[in-house]
Amino acid sequence: MLLVLHAFAAGCTALTGVEAISNGVPGFRPPEARNARRTLVAMGAILGSLFIGVSFLAVRVGVRPYAGGNPTLIGQLARWVLGGSAAGHAFFYLFQAATLAILVLAANTSFAGFPRLVSFAAADAFLPRWFAKRGQRLVHSNGVLALSAAAAVVTLAFRADYNRLLPLYAIGVFTSFTFSQAGMTRRHLRLREPGWRHGLAVNGTGALVTFLVLLDLIATKFAAGAWMVLVTLPLLVLLLDRTNRAYEREREELTVQALELLGPPKPRHEVLVLVDGVDRAVLHALQYARQLNPLTITALHVAADPGAADRLARRWADLPLSVPLEVVHCPTRNLVACAAGAVGQRARPDTEVTVLLPRHGDRGRFGRLLHDQTGRELFAALNRLAGVNVAVVHPTGP
């Protein structure tokens, strides 16, 4: 019985791929469900006939697998069917090329189905929302990139060994099969829609059969790597649940009545422009501050170097600016803490404070290496202050 179950499990593993149809139902032409059902029936018929035909030929010819895996069983059958003539050799290589193309297409199935599948989970807040966004090529690019990275890691870790990778694939597939069939069975029992008994029989049988296959794969492939899937899947479920809870908490925090926030404006609005010199970025931030039409505009300089602060004050006095410069001395040289303290003193119940941070330098991939992270830390610290709004002002012009 164990041998029969193992053979059945191996055969079922060879027939996986039908899940790509269910994952891709929204991609079919209307009516989507009917067209997907027809495709699934055609795919099942093709797979079944091929599998039965290959099995019949393997028994009839008496081919046996090689320990090294080469030549493959399918290659041995092709040699026998096509013969040893020149035309047979030519068709044999054509057959091998077609097999390679089919395997490449099969691998591409994951890159077509997985991004769409994770987009469903992301739309239901079980995965980060950026998985649901489409890229410029109208595909879920983030899902493709995530799958590519995961596939590369697994391939390198297992050295592309088919015999070591197959248990991971098979257990993952049949676990999802079992859960999907069990979920449909539970749905039929709960809703009892028209024809539910027929659906219950189909999905209940499918859940039982795939569960038996899953148990056999776990028992026979546990030491070959199946244990990794058994450990990883519960961790993934916990991660999905935690992601959903985080989004739920965020939704509850942001869901408020409009009147709770749309109250009368505060009578005072002050703008602070943090400056460390006089350049295009600072002048543009001052110009933007004037566009806000606040009650007061103040240039704030946090001085860790008294000499540099004195030079800035003398230069500021020579400029035709109507904006006063306020220098906050920082003997501890903790610029972020000193700036947050100076800004926090201005935030009062009747005052709204806007802090403008001029952006300096190139922020490309290489440019980020040329600047420290003080601006980023300052932005985060000021954003935590009540009654304070922070904006980064980009310089314009050449």
Q: Give alpha helix (H) positions in 124-195.
A: 141-157, 162-191
State whether 275 and 186 are in the same domain: no
Cα–Cα distance measured from residue 307 to residue 71, given in angstroms and rounded to the nearest whole number: 79
Do the domain assignments include residue 362? yes
Q: Quick: pLDDT tens for 223-245.
A: 777 778 788 888 989 999 999 99
* CATH code of 307's domain: 3.40.50.620
- Which residue type is seen at 19? E
- Residue 110 tokens read as 């994951």
Listed residue (361, 385, 393) closest to 274, CA to CA: 393
Which pLDDT does position 303 carry in this prediction?
87
Which region among 196-200, 328-332, 363-367 has the lowest average model confidence (pLDDT)? 363-367
Q: For residues 272 and 354, is the Cβ–Cβ distance under 8 A?
A: yes
Report the pLDDT averaged over residues 28-41: 91
Number of domains in the chain: 2
Examine the pLDDT at 103 and tell me if it is beyond 90: no
Residue 335's CB is within 10 A of a number of other CB atoms, namely 19
State whether 246 and 291 are in the same domain: no
- Residues contacting residue 292 through CB under 8 Å, at least 6 positions apart: 269, 271, 354
**3-class secondary structure, 134:** coil
Rg of the chain, C-alpha, whole Å: 33
Which pLDDT does position 355 carry in this prediction?
93
Say which residue, 227 or 129, is predicted with more confidence.
Answer: 129
Do the domain assignments include residue 137? yes
Cα–Cα distance measured from residue 11 to residue 9, given in angstroms and rounded to the nearest whole number: 5
Report the first-to-last Cα separation within the chain, whole angstroms: 78
Report the pLDDT averaged over residues 157-179: 81
Which pLDDT does position 260 carry in this prediction?
56
Task: Give the residue numbers spanning the domain of 330.
Answer: 265-393
Do the domain assignments include residue 279? yes
Do the domain assignments include residue 260? no
**Which three-class secondary structure string do you get for 56-70?**
HHHHHHCCCCCCCCC
Residue percentage of the chain with pLDDT more than 70: 91
User: Whole-prediction pTM value?
Assistant: 0.60
Rounded mean pLDDT of the chain? 84
Counted residue by residue, the chain has a size of 398
Do the domain assignments include residue 96? yes
State whether 214 and 321 are in the same domain: no
State whether 226 and 326 are in the same domain: no
State whether 111 and 234 are in the same domain: yes
Which pLDDT does position 279 carry in this prediction?
85
State whether 42 and 75 are in the same domain: yes
Do the domain assignments include residue 259? no
φ, ψ at 325 (rounded to 5°): -105, 125
- Residue 88 tokens read as 């047979």
State whether 31 and 147 are in the same domain: yes
Do the domain assignments include residue 184? yes
Residue 88's CB is within 10 A of a number of other CB atoms, namely 15
Final residue belonging to a domain, choices 254, 277, 307: 254
Say which residue, 106 or 30, is predicted with more confidence.
Answer: 30
Do the domain assignments include residue 314? yes
Which pLDDT does position 367 carry in this prediction?
53
Cα–Cα distance measured from residue 398 to residue 395, given in angstroms and rounded to the nearest whole number: 9
State whether 40 and 161 are in the same domain: yes
Which pLDDT does position 243 carry in this prediction?
92
Q: Quick: pLDDT tens for 299-355.
A: 999 888 888 889 989 988 888 888 899 998 888 878 888 888 888 888 888 888 999
State whether 187 and 289 are in the same domain: no
Which of the four pLDDT bands, split at 50, 70 and 90, describes residue 372? low
Which pLDDT does position 196 carry in this prediction?
93
- Residue 273 tokens read as 């422009």
Q: For residues 270 and 298, is the Cβ–Cβ distance under 8 A?
A: yes
- Residue 332 tokens read as 């501890």
Final residue belonging to a domain, choices 254, 278, 306: 254
